[in-house]
Amino acid sequence: MSKIPLQFRHNGRDVAIFVDGGTNLLVALRELIGDMTPKFGCGQGGCGTCSVLIDGELHLSCLTLAETVAGRSVETLDGMKQGPNLHPLQRAFADHFAAQCGYCTPGMLMAAKALLDRNPAPSRDEVVEAISGNICRCTGYEPIINAILAAAGGRVSA
């Protein structure tokens, strides 16, 4: 079966790859672009660790048909870094012990970014809702919620 050419913006950079029909965006990002920051957890939409932003909206890359991002902008955790500095959300996660094994962290950070980009001063309930599609087996969620609230409150310096 022939490969399909696909072009999109990946963290602000234009990329062009060839995908097999039916390939999901997570596989395209990890195996064809080499961006290992979105993780594979379940491939079923259930865990959220593969979360990315498509045109600023939170999507599950494992359930996204790669071809549907043609011409669109895809943002992953890799795009969050700012040179040698951590993004304020990353800083807050570190300061509040919001990552233990770290497997959920890429998805949590993308879900948090999707929230704060839209709503810079969320309530605690809004934070809980924003990460409700992301599973964490380690932290019990409280440190993650606190980290996101702290980043939003600007109490964590970049």
Ligand X SMILES: Cc1cc2nc3c(=O)[nH]c(=O)nc-3n(C[C@H](O)[C@H](O)[C@H](O)COP(=O)(O)OP(=O)(O)OC[C@H]3O[C@@H](n4cnc5c(N)ncnc54)[C@H](O)[C@@H]3O)c2cc1C
- Applying CB under 8 A, among 11, 24, 76, 139 the residue interacting with another protein is 24
Q: If binding is defined by CB under 8 A, does position 43 make contact with another protein?
A: yes
Residues 6+ apart with CB under 8 A from 46: 135
Closest to ligand FES by CB, 7 vs 129, is 129
Site for ligand FES in 99-158 (CB under 6 A): 99-104, 136-139
List the single partner that 137 binds among ligand X, ligand FES, another protein, none, CB under 5 to 8 Å by kind: ligand FES
Q: If binding is defined by CB under 8 A, does position 114 make contact with another protein?
A: yes
Q: How far is the CB of 60 from ligand X (least distance, A)?
A: 7
Residues 6+ apart with CB under 8 A from 149: 122, 124, 127
Spatial distance between the Cα atoms of 123 and 94, rounded to a whole number of angstroms? 21
Distance set, CA 16 to CA 34, 50, 67, 77, 116 (Å): 13, 21, 12, 20, 30
Residues found near ligand X in the complex (CB under 6 A): 45-46
